Amino acid sequence: MAHFLFFLLAIVCIGAVVAMIFSKNQAYNALFIILLFVCLAGLFGLLNAPFIAVIQIIVYAGGIMVLFLFVIMMIDLQEGIPPERKRWTIGLSFLIAGVLIIELLFALKGFLFPAQAATAGSPGSPTDLGRLLFTKYLYPFEITSVLIIVALVGAMILVKKKDSD
């Protein structure tokens, strides 16, 4: 089962990147990368890192990529979606839906088969990660706060309109 999941996810991962190389539409590219990130989250799950898998989906696929899509919409390059590509979208949506279902089943595995459910003591549990984050990795953790301030200030100055200050 694990082998099957691995190869399925690996093929979709590589396929998504290759599709991005061949596609010309940025919105599609962003969607392909979301697909890649979701599959990677599945692989993280296979590697006993459930918490990282969740973060991957929430922050990467949900946060960062939405930002990308948002900017792509703002840029609006007036090329539009060529009509012959339309059936592509259908295929793509099926693919994403399929992967999502596998993803969901995988996430629910613990619920469906309680014997394998992750307990608080198992590796990769949020408790352990949190403890490590605030002891051994306290200093880098504090540095990330500086990083976020820089990113905030930087993004704000660059994008705000000249006259508003």
Partner 1 sequence: MVPTSYFIILSAILFVLGAFAFFVKRDLITQFLCIEVMLSAANLAFIAFAKSASSLDGQIIVIFIITVAAAEAAVGLAIILLVYRQKKTIKSEDMNLMKG
Partner 2 sequence: MNSLNAMFPLLTLIVGALLVLILEVSIKRENKTYLAFISIIFLMICGFFCVQSWGKDFSYFNNHLYLDNFALFFSIVLIITTILVTLISMKYLSLQNTNVGEYYALLLLALSGMLIMVSSSDLIVIFLGLEVLSMSSYTLAGLKRDDQKSSEAALKYFLLGSFASAFLVYGLALLYGVSNSTSIAVIIDHFKTESSLSFMAFAGLGLVIVGFGFKIAVVPFHMWTPDVYQGAPTPITAFFSIGPKAVGFAVLVRLLYPFWHVAYDSEVIFSLLWIISALTMIIGNLIALRQTNIKRMLAYSSIAHAGYLMVAILSQDTSSLMFYFVVYLFMNIGAFAAVIALGKKDKEYLELDDYAGIGFKYPWIGATFAVFLFSLAGFPPTGGFLAKFYVFSAAVREGLVSLVIIGVLASLVSVYYYLRIIVYMYMREPTHEVDINLENPALFLVLFLCLYGVLQLGIFPGNILLIIKQAVSSIAFL
Q: Using the rule CB under 8 A, which residue among 54, 95, 102, 129 binds partner 1?
A: 129
- CA 131-136-142 angle, 5° bins: 90
Beta carbon nearer to partner 1, 98 or 154: 154
Beta carbon nearer to partner 1, 90 or 159: 159
Q: Using the rule CB under 8 A, which residue among 8, 46, 54, 102 binds partner 1?
A: 46
State which of positions 85-104 bind partner 1 (CB under 8 A): none
State which of positions 18-57 bind partner 2 (CB under 8 A): none
Q: Does 120 contact partner 1 by CB under 8 A?
A: no
Q: Does 18 contact partner 1 by CB under 8 A?
A: yes
Which of partner 2, partner 1, none is residue 146 near (CB under 5 to 8 Å by kind)? Answer: partner 2
Q: Using the rule CB under 8 A, which residue among 76, 158, 163, 164 binds partner 2?
A: 158
Q: Does 127 contact partner 1 by CB under 8 A?
A: no
Q: To the nearest whole angstrom, how small is the minimum distance from the Cβ of residue 157 to partner 2? A: 5
Q: Which amino acid is at 33?
A: I
Beta carbon nearer to partner 2, 108 or 138: 138
For the chain, the three-class secondary structure string (H helix, E strand, C coil) is CHHHHHHHHHHHHHHHHHHHHHCCCHHHHHHHHHHHHHHHHHHHHHCCCHHHHHHHHHHHHHHHHHHHHHHHHHHCCCCCCCHHHHHHHHHHHHHHHHHHHHHHHHHHHHHHCHHHCCCCCCCCCHHHHHHHHHCCCHHHHHHHHHHHHHHHHHHHHHHCCHHHC
Which of partner 2, partner 1, none is residue 139 near (CB under 5 to 8 Å by kind)? Answer: partner 2
| 35 neighbors 16 (Cβ within 8 angstroms) | yes
